[in-house]
Amino acid sequence: MAHTASRKPPRVGDSPIFRRSLIGVVLILGALLIVAPLLVIGHEAFKQGWKVYIDTLSHPDTRHAIMLTVITALIAVPVNTAFGVAAAWAITKFDFRGKRLLLVVIEIPFSVSPIVAGVAYLFVYGLQGLFGPWLDDHDIKILFALPGIILASMFVTAPFVARELIPLMQAQGRDLEEAATSLGASGWRTFFSVTIPNVKWALLYGVVLCNARVMGEFGAVSVVSGNIRGQTNTLPLHIELLYHDYQAAGAFASASILALLAVFTIIAKVALERRGAGRRKTLSDAAAPTGP
Amino acid sequence: MRRNILPGLRLSLGITLFYVGLIVVLPLAALVVKAASLGPAEYWLIVSSSRALASYRVTALSALVATVFNLFFGLALAWVLTRYRFPGRRIVDAMVDLPFALPTAVAGISLTALFSSNGWFGSLLSEAGIKVAYTPIGIMIAMCFTSLPFIVRTVQPVLEDLDPALEEAAQSLGGSDWTIFRKVILPLLTPALLAGLSLSFARSLGEFGAIIFIAGNQPMSTEITALLIFIRLEEYDYQAAAAIASVLLLTAFAMLAVTNWLQARALRYTLKG
Amino acid sequence: MKIRLDNVIKTFDTFRAVHGVSLEVESGELIALLGPSGSGKTTILRMVAGLEYADGGHIYFGDQDATDIPVRDRGVGFVFQHYALFPHMTVAENIGFGMSVSKVKREKAAIAERVNQLLKLVRLEGLGDRFPAQISGGQRQRVALARALAVDPKVLLLDEPFGALDANVRHDLRRWLREIHQELGITTIFVTHDQEEALDLADRVVILKEGQIVQQGTPQEVCREPKDAFVLKFLGDANRLAGEVSGGIARAGGAEIAAGGASDGPAEIYARPRDLDWSAEGPGVSATVSRVLDRPGERRVIATAVTGEPLELDVDPEREIAAGDTGFVTFRRAKVFAL
């Protein structure tokens, strides 16, 4: 009997018919549900030619929306990053009561509708809210202005950096930091020369995801922004406005910028995963106590 | 509890608690307080109004359909990505994250363009007499799109880490592929599947941007709960907005609790005796 | 069931793990595949099970060519190194798994009864309702064995069965496995890198190196007549001296040893610490004691020969000897291999 080189015994689901049909079904559904929406954006954006595309993107309202989106990201992302790092340090390097609860609370924004988040902010900073009257008396504008947009974006993306860092730092334990401290390094020195180098790719990965969600946030921001054209419209809100103004080509032209951002985010994600970031188990795994 | 050797507990925990308190807890608490200030009778009247009930029904039903679809599609995707090698696998793997990275409003308008009666898919479907855009089916498709990555990304790592010896043991004991999948592999994936299902369902219940463009937004038929809240706000009916928003919020919390409980049950066997 | 391997070959990518191994295992025999890591012993076991397919050669179960029969139809019981118990099933469900998925349908009650018999056989009565995470390593090992036996396998295959256990548990389980084998009389092959385990347990030991059989035989045969220096060293501590053979006598550092069949020319002389002794006068290898280690039942002397080679020898515990003493190392017994 002739043997072909190095055959493997079939694993579960390895029969050729099953394998091919499952791959086929997944590829077809994936093309219809994931790839087609991406392609149609480009198609619609250029339907009326390059000129309309360029005109939309160079319109002052669009440029203002892009600027507002970038400013929001420039503030919300670093703040969320600082929070994520602090939370990861506290949770993975120390044992304290209520750690599990804290982890649950950090993850809440994932389960809460962005509309609910927006409404909740209304009841803190709006005229009907806790601080609204006081803020109004002192002429401080948070809602229907940039600060409100930034706060709502921070809520929606609060867990991103923390959830990338916590499982990784949990897995790496405390030995390295304890060794550095015992050698006389200060806390900050230990943090910057021992902790950060070991988690830098995961940190960057969290930052990239956080940025994509901040720039694309729609529901929460549409509640707190007031939708004032040329003043409080971020790019996603601007898309809605154009779309409802029957300027579909303009809406898709603006959407194409955010679609490009999404594609860039995915490419960055793949690159960072190759360096070992991401794809870890859930946050709750990190809640288990370590050490004796 | 052991003594802390490392510095920075006060600072890092202080920042964490302050931030979580200010950004997450305070607004949600304000919402709950506002809703509670209504009084039981008035609250009940608002949250059980026929328009609100209709919105819960269409939202929950669509989320259920989308989650069940994603249970099968997500599991199949995770399986194909971990168990088979084929050209383009890495690209498919990367594309799974697109719904997560693509802003919801962008997804909303592009799905609408695809499924409206003159779109790529909509024109084909309308020949077959199926209308998707501006119907509950549109809502379901938008939810399927936005919640797809959750099940894939929770199941995939568990499937990758599954000990091959378990499968080999089951094979050596004479189990057929289907039996091994049903009795060995699926039970070991269950905790991850539950986590994925819960995230996917919660995401669908709260989704706004991807849906409002394709849904048609007709009260009593294609108006989702998140949109109803938004409409009440535009009408300056803040109390109604607070009440209905609190229903969505409490549902999300209840889901978290139920999922945790189910997961703990599904993992009972890992506990030491 | 008699098992026969005929010139079996296995290659992983470009690495050849098993080179033309031929082996016969008699019905009811208990065989150890012994070798260092990378010797191909686990690969051979997995090919017998059908968990790997051979790239060349044939595997016969009795008269049937089993080379290409998939594992699920091969009728083997396999005990995995880390047991591979199904974590979500109880001990009883694990043991009953093979019967409940079998094409031959059995009543639930019949399965339960057989599970109870097996629990008794492996001395785990009363633990049927526990989950694998809730029992000890030794108990898990026995569950894995019971699960493999439940399908009435033609052959029992064990991959490093005691590798993950504490030394004392390992000892008990070893004797117990021997008893079970005696009781059931099932053809059994196990893989180990621990020579003591192989010699204690097996009817026959097959010693492997780099994917080939170096020697096979009863424990007595391989211990008394090691075929080469590799087998000798692998089976236990041994001293090595460089020497010269001429006229049937090997000479090294002043000692003369019968060379056995070794041909004239440069040779290696091997002797176990028990086979050496210390004396004040020759003839022997003159040496200086560098350390004395005390152990229960013996003293181990570490000495340096005039040639600079280190020697270890075991002497009676009462023997007066100390570091710095000079004298001679004498040979009771030694093996000489021509280079």
- Closest in C50, C87, C151 to B173, CB measured: C151
- State whether B23 and A265 contact (CB < 8 Å): no
Q: How far apart are CA C239 and CA A95, in angstroms?
A: 54
How many other C-beta atoms lie within 10 A of the C-beta of residue A93?
23
Angstrom CA distances, A126 to A123, A153, A174, B31, stand at: 6, 16, 44, 12
| A7 domain-assigned | no
Please tell me if residue A1 touches chain C, with a CB cutoff of 8 Å: yes
Indicate yes or no: CB of A34 within 8 angstroms of CB of B145: yes
Taking contacts as CB-CB distances below 8 angstroms, the residues of chain A near C52 are 8-9
Nearest CA in chain A to C12: A6
Among residues C187, C212, C231, the one where a domain terminates is C231
B95 close to B176: Cβ distance less than 8 angstroms: no
Nearest to A22 among B16, B80, B144 (CB): B80
- Residue of chain C whose alpha carbon sits nearest to that of A4: C55
CATH value at residue A55: 1.10.3720.10
In this structure, are A38 and A97 located in the same domain? no
* Nearest-neighbour CA in chain C from B235: distance (Å): 54
Q: Please report, for the domain that includes residue C50, its CATH number.
A: 3.40.50.300
Q: Please name which of B263, B77, B91, B97 lies closest in space to residue B155, comparing C-alpha atoms.
A: B77
Segment holding A64, helix H or strand E: helix A60-93
Q: Within this chain, do residues C106 and C17 fall inside the same structural domain, yes or no?
A: yes
Q: Quick check: is A77 in a domain? A: yes
Q: What is the pLDDT of residues A145-186, one digit of tens each?
A: 999 999 999 999 999 999 999 989 988 888 889 899 888 888
Please check the confidence at residue A234 and state whether its pLDDT lies above 70: yes
- Cβ-Cβ pairs closer than 8 A, B with C, add up to 84
Residues 44-103 of C with CB under 8 A from A: 50-56, 58, 67-68, 70-71
User: Is there a domain that residue A8 lies in?
Assistant: no
Share of chain B above pLDDT 70, in %: 98
Q: Of A128, A216, A281, which is closest to B238 when you measure between CB atoms?
A: A128
Of B175, B187, B273, which has the smallest distance from its Cβ to C101's Cβ?
B175
Amino acid B263: pLDDT: 86
If asked whether residues C183 and C82 sit together in one domain, one would say yes
* Measured distance CA(B89)–CA(B203) in Å, rounded: 27
Closest chain A residue to C14 measured between Cα atoms?
Answer: A6
Residues C211 and C279 both lie in one domain: no
Range of the domain at C287: 237-338
Residue of C nearest to B188 (CA): C88
Q: Per the CB < 8 Å rule, is C70 touching B187?
A: no
Kindly identify which residue of chain B lies nearest to residue C76, measuring between CA atoms: B172
Name the minimum distance, in Å, from the CA of C265 to any CA of chain B.
51
Nearest to B173 among C81, C101, C132 (CB): C101
Residue A57 inside a domain? The answer is yes
Report how far residue C249's alpha carbon sits from residue C230's, in angstroms, rounded to the nearest whole number. Answer: 22
Q: Would the pLDDT of C254 be above 90?
A: no
How far CA C12 is from CA of A3, A10, A11, B169, in Å, comes to 14, 16, 17, 22
One DSSP character per residue, C265-284 reads EEEEEEE-GGGEEEESS-SS
Least confident of A33-42, A70-79, C221-230, C275-284: C275-284
Q: Is residue A6 part of a domain?
A: no
Q: Are residues C210 and C273 in the same domain?
A: no
Q: Does A291 touch chain B (CB under 8 A)?
A: yes
User: Is B34 within a domain?
Assistant: no
Mean pLDDT (whole number) for C83-91? 96
Number of residue pairs across A and C with CB atoms under 8 Å? 25
Structural domains counted in chain C: 2
Q: In this complex, which chains have at least 3 CB pairs below 8 Å with chain B?
A: A, C
Q: Among B2, B5, B11, B16, which would you mutate to test the A interface (most chain A Cβ atoms within 10 Å of its Cβ)?
A: B16
Q: Which of these, C209, C175, C216, C177, lies nearest to C193 by C-alpha position?
A: C209
Q: What's the gap in Å between the CA of B128 and the closest CA on chain A?
A: 17
Chain A CB within 8 Å of residue B254 CB: no
Last residue of a domain, one of A25, A45, A65: A45
In the predicted model, what is the mean pLDDT of residues C28-48?
95
The total number of structural domains in chain A stands at 2
Same domain, A53 and A29: no
Which residue from C76, C12, C86, C88 is spatially nearest to C45, judged by alpha carbons? Answer: C76
Q: Between A and B, how many CB-CB pairs are < 8 A?
A: 313
My answer on whether C178 and C206 are in the same domain is yes
Nearest CA in chain C to B266: C88
Q: Are C170 and C132 in a shared domain?
A: yes
Q: Which residues contact B269 (CB under 8 A, 6 or more apart)?
A: C87, C88, C89, C131, C132, C133
| pLDDT of B26 strictly over 50 | yes
Same domain, C176 and C131: yes
Res A6: pLDDT: 57
Q: Are residues A139 and A176 in the same domain?
A: yes
At C294, which CATH number? 2.40.50.140
Residue B57 lies in a domain: yes
pLDDT at C262: 81
Together in a domain, A120 and A38:
no
Q: Is the predicted pLDDT of residue B3 greater than 80, yes or no? A: no
CB-based contact (8 Å) between B69 and chain A? no
Are residues C120 and C53 located together in one domain of the fold? yes
Sign, CA torsion A62/A64/A70/A73: negative
Query: A34 and A126: one domain?
Result: no
Q: Tokens at residue B24, please?
A: 């997450």
The verdict on C269 and C309 lying in the same domain is: yes
pLDDT tens sequence across B77-134: 999 999 999 999 999 999 999 999 999 999 999 999 999 999 999 999 999 999 999 9
User: How far off is chain B from A2, nearest CA to CA, in Å?
Assistant: 25
Chain C, 38 to 77: residues with Cβ < 8 Å from chain B are: 49-51, 70-74, 76-77
Question: What is the C-alpha to C-alpha distance for residues B9 and A95, in angstroms, rounded to an integer?
Answer: 10
Residue ranges making up the domain that contains A35:
16-45
Distance separating alpha carbons of residues C161 and C158, to the nearest angstrom:
6
**Is there a single domain that holds both residue A67 and residue A202?**
yes
In the stretch 7-26 of chain A, residues with CB closer than 8 A to chain C read: 7-10
- Confidence band of B273 (pLDDT split at 50, 70, 90): low
Q: Which of A119, A205, A221, A258 to probe the B interface (max B CBs under 10 A)?
A: A119
Same domain (yes/no): A205, A262 = yes
Mean pLDDT (whole number) for B48-63 = 97
Q: Considering the domain boundaries, does residue A249 fall inside one?
A: yes
A25/B76 CB distance under 8 A: yes
For residue B72, give both structure tokens: 């099968």
Asked if C212 reaches chain A (Cβ–Cβ under 8 Å), the answer is no
Are residues C50 and C122 both part of a single domain? Answer: yes
Q: What is the DSSP string of C32-78?
A: EEE--TTSSHHHHHHHHHTSS--SEEEEEETTEE-TT--HHHH-EEE
- Name the domain count of chain B: 1
Looking at every residue in chain A, the average pLDDT score rounds to: 88
Q: Is A186 exposed, middle or buried (0-12, 13-18, 19+ CB in 10 A)?
A: exposed
Model confidence pLDDT, tens digit, residues B205-218: 999 999 999 998 99
Structural domain including B250 reads 39-267
Of chain A, the percentage scoring pLDDT greater than 70 comes to 91
Report pLDDT for A280.
Answer: 47
Contact C71 A9 (CB under 8 A): yes
Q: Please check whether residue A1 lies inside any domain of the structure.
A: no
Contact call for B174 and C49, based on CB within 8 A:
no
Does A213 share its domain with A276? yes
Of B172, B270, B273, the CB nearest to C71: B172
Residues of A in contact with B245 (CB under 8 A): 113, 115-116, 119-120
What local confidence, expressed as pLDDT, does residue A284 receive? Answer: 37
Model pLDDT, residue B266: 87
Mean pLDDT of B13-17: 96
Is there a single domain that holds both residue C195 and residue C96?
yes
Contact A10 C70 (CB under 8 A): yes
CA of A197, closest CA in chain B: separation in Å?
18
Same-domain check for residues A35 and A53: no
Contact residues on chain C for A8, CB-CB shorter than 8 A: 52-53
* CATH number of the domain within which B121 lies: 1.10.3720.10
Query: For residue B245, which amino acid is it?
Result: A
Chains near A with 3+ CB pairs less than 8 A apart are B, C
Q: What is the ipTM of this complex?
A: 0.92
Residue A15, token pair as written in the block:
């029969």
Q: Mark which of C211, C231, C251 sits at the end of a domain.
A: C231
B179 contacts C98? CB cut-off 8 A: no
B229 closest CB neighbour out of A119, A155, A270: A119
pLDDT in tens, C319-337: 889 999 999 999 988 999 9
Instruction: Using pLDDT thresholds of 50, 70 and 90, give the confidence band for residue A282.
Output: very low
Considering the domain architecture, whether residues C140 and C8 belong to the same structural domain is answered as: yes
* Residue B270 pLDDT greater than 90, yes or no: no
Average pLDDT, chain C: 92
Q: Is the pLDDT of residue A286 over 50?
A: no
A10 CB neighbours in chain C (<8 A) are: 70
Share of chain C above pLDDT 70, in %: 100
Q: Choose between C248 and A276: higher pLDDT.
A: C248
A106 → closest Cβ in B20, B26, B164 = B20
A9 to chain C: which residues are within 8 Å by CB?
A: 50-53, 70-71
pLDDT tens readout for residues C103-143: 888 899 999 999 999 999 999 999 999 999 999 999 999 99
